């Protein structure tokens, strides 16, 4: 029997995570299904930033590096993120961007690989990986004399062999929402003598991740998607403790020095994850990120990441079920696999004609998803604030737009500078 709107209202009434919606500023009459691109604003963020600006910066000035422990923010926020991704205390720091952190860990991984398996000269990734990951990997390969090899769908496992130095994968694919089996692929790479770098940009805060259980080597991730840290929020970087002191990462900035305030002319890397810091921490951005991470940690009172995952799966399954029923014959082709173990917290569709315009028509109705070239409509589900009734209503809007041809109005085809 098809799920009704009344069923959704009842599911929302019984939802253990429902109180967490009140932690966010959400525009009225808006259905926000784009938390996989930019998380919603936590209500605590504005007040926290005002405190940092007016009190810590405005009154206490430079003394706040000590009195407000600004210097400890990368590690403090990192320890909070670590609880969400199966990392230990003092193993993860919040710093820089995902791209910069990826360059750091790839440099470290390739250095180790050159030492441990000098004949292995390949970095393996996917054609569909997020472009910045591929750009960084291509640059690192050129600099260090490695080959970047890109595999197509379903080709990763059979591309792992003794020639592999580093496997670089995004846990949840940004276009399709397909999720890799992290533990299995890590084990296969290790069996071949390779190291593994995981990009958690579309999984941290949305799906359970256990880096230690998977025996991963390196991980990076994004702070402004499911961690709700705000536009351009700092990213994070994690290194397995067994690797942390084996190398110097390539961006040897002063904050990664063993004693940065001794101002030595020579570089001595700090121990452990601290050597992955580089420049001065962005305090305002880190303060906002901490507020965002706290919204995810608030779910620990209601079952934590397992509860988030259960609701995420329910929301995305409901969306797919309703699109199948309401939008049949409309040209939408689902890209996201439906088995629970194979999808993240989004549902994506391709459409040969009008994908961008359809997304813009939805946004005009207050349903915010996004478009990814060349033809992908993405819908992300953030269980902290997305309701079942939001999903139900969003599909009604999508079906109405497709039936009426509303998306064909000229204004919906005009491209903005940032494509959403």
- The helix (H) or strand (E) run that includes residue 8 is helix 5-14
Identify the active-site residue in 104, 178, 351, 378: 378
Confirm whether 378 is a catalytic residue: yes
Q: What is the DSSP letter of 53?
A: I
Q: Which residue would you say has higher pLDDT here, 243 or 1?
A: 243
Confirm whether 217 is a catalytic residue: no
Domain that holds residue 322: 5-32+303-413
Confirm whether 181 is a catalytic residue: no
pLDDT digit string (tens) for 86-108? 999 999 999 999 999 999 999 99
pLDDT digit string (tens) for 271-317? 999 999 999 999 999 999 999 999 999 999 999 999 999 999 999 99
pLDDT digit string (tens) for 196-206? 999 999 999 99
Residues 242 and 325 occupy one common structural domain = no
Domain closes at, from 233, 266, 298: 298
- Is 38 within a domain? no
Mean pLDDT (the chain, rounded): 97
Mean pLDDT value of segment 171-184 = 98
pLDDT band at 19, cuts 50/70/90? very high
Residues 353 and 385 occupy one common structural domain = yes
pLDDT band at 419, cuts 50/70/90? confident
Nearest residue to 224 (alpha-carbon basis) of 198, 197, 202? 202
pLDDT digit string (tens) for 341-400? 999 999 999 999 999 999 999 999 999 999 999 999 999 999 999 999 999 999 999 999
Mean pLDDT value of segment 243-247 = 90
pLDDT recorded at residue 154: 87
Domain closes at, from 275, 298, 321: 298
Q: 1 pLDDT exceeds 90?
A: no
Identify the active-site residue in 24, 224, 349, 385: 224
Identify the active-site residue in 15, 96, 199, 393: 199
The whole model's pTM is what? 0.97
Residues 137 and 284 occupy one common structural domain = yes
Task: Check which CATH number belongs to the domain holding 68 and give it.
Answer: 3.40.640.10
pLDDT band at 70, cuts 50/70/90? very high
Confirm whether 245 is a catalytic residue: no
pLDDT recorded at residue 37: 98
> What total number of domains does the chain contain?
2
H helices of 298-385, where? 304-326, 355-364
Nearest residue to 38 (alpha-carbon basis) of 292, 290, 287? 292
Identify the active-site residue in 130, 276, 356, 392: 130
Task: Check which CATH number belongs to the domain holding 373 and give it.
Answer: 3.90.1150.10
Residues 320 and 186 occupy one common structural domain = no
Give the Cα separation of 232 and 230 in Å (integer): 6
Per the structure block, which two tokens stand in for 3?
Answer: 């799920």
Identify the active-site residue in 80, 121, 225, 365: 225
Confirm whether 379 is a catalytic residue: no
pLDDT band at 155, cuts 50/70/90? very high
């Amino acid at each position: 029997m098809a799920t009704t709107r009344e069923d959704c209202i009842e599911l929302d009434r019984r939802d253990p995570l429902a109180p967490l919606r009140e932690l966010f500023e959400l525009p009225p009459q808006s259905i926000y299904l784009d938390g996989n691109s930019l998380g919603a604003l936590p209500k605590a963020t504005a007040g926290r930033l005002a405190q940092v600006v007016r009190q810590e910066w405005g009154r206490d000035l430079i003394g706040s590096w000590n009195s407000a422990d600004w210097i400890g923010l990368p590690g403090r926020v990192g320890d909070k993120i670590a609880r969400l991704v199966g990392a230990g205390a003092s193993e993860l720091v919040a710093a820089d961007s995902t791209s910069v952190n990826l360059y750091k860990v790839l440099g470290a991984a390739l250095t180790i690989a050159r030492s441990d398996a000098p004949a292995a000269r390949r970095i393996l990734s996917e054609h569909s990986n997020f472009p910045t990951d591929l750009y960084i990997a291509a640059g690192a390969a050129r600099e260090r004399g490695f080959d970047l090899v890109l595999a197509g769908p379903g080709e990763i496992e059979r591309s792992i062999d003794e020639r592999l130095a580093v496997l670089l994968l995004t846990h949840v694919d940004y276009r399709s929402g397909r999720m890799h089996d992290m533990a299995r692929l890590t084990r296969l790479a290790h069996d071949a003598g390779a190291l593994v770098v995981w990009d958690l940009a579309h999984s941290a805060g949305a799906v359970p991740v256990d880096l230690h259980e998977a025996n991963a080597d390196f991980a990076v991730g994004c702070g402004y998607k499911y961690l709700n840290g705000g536009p351009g929020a700092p990213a994070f970087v994690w290194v397995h403790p067994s690797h942390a002191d084996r190398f110097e990462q390539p961006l040897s900035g002063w904050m990664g020095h063993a004693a940065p305030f001794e101002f030595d002319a020579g570089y001595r890397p700090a121990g452990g994850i601290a050597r992955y810091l580089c420049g001065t921490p962005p305090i305002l951005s880190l303060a906002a990120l901490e507020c965002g991470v706290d919204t995810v940690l608030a779910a620990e009172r209601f079952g934590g990441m397992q509860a988030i995952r259960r609701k995420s799966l329910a929301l995305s399954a409901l969306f797919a079920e309703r699109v199948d029923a309401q939008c049949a014959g409309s040209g939408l082709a689902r890209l996201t696999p439906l088995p629970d173990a194979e999808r993240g917290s989004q549902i994506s569709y391709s459409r040969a004609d009008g994908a961008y315009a359809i997304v813009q028509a939805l946004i005009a109705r207050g349903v915010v998803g996004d478009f990814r070239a060349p033809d992908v409509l993405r819908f992300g589900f953030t269980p902290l604030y997305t309701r079942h009734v939001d999903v139900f209503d969003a599909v009604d809007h999508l079906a109405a737009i497709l039936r009426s041809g509303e998306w064909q109005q000229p204004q919906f085809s005009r491209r903005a500078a940032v494509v959403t």
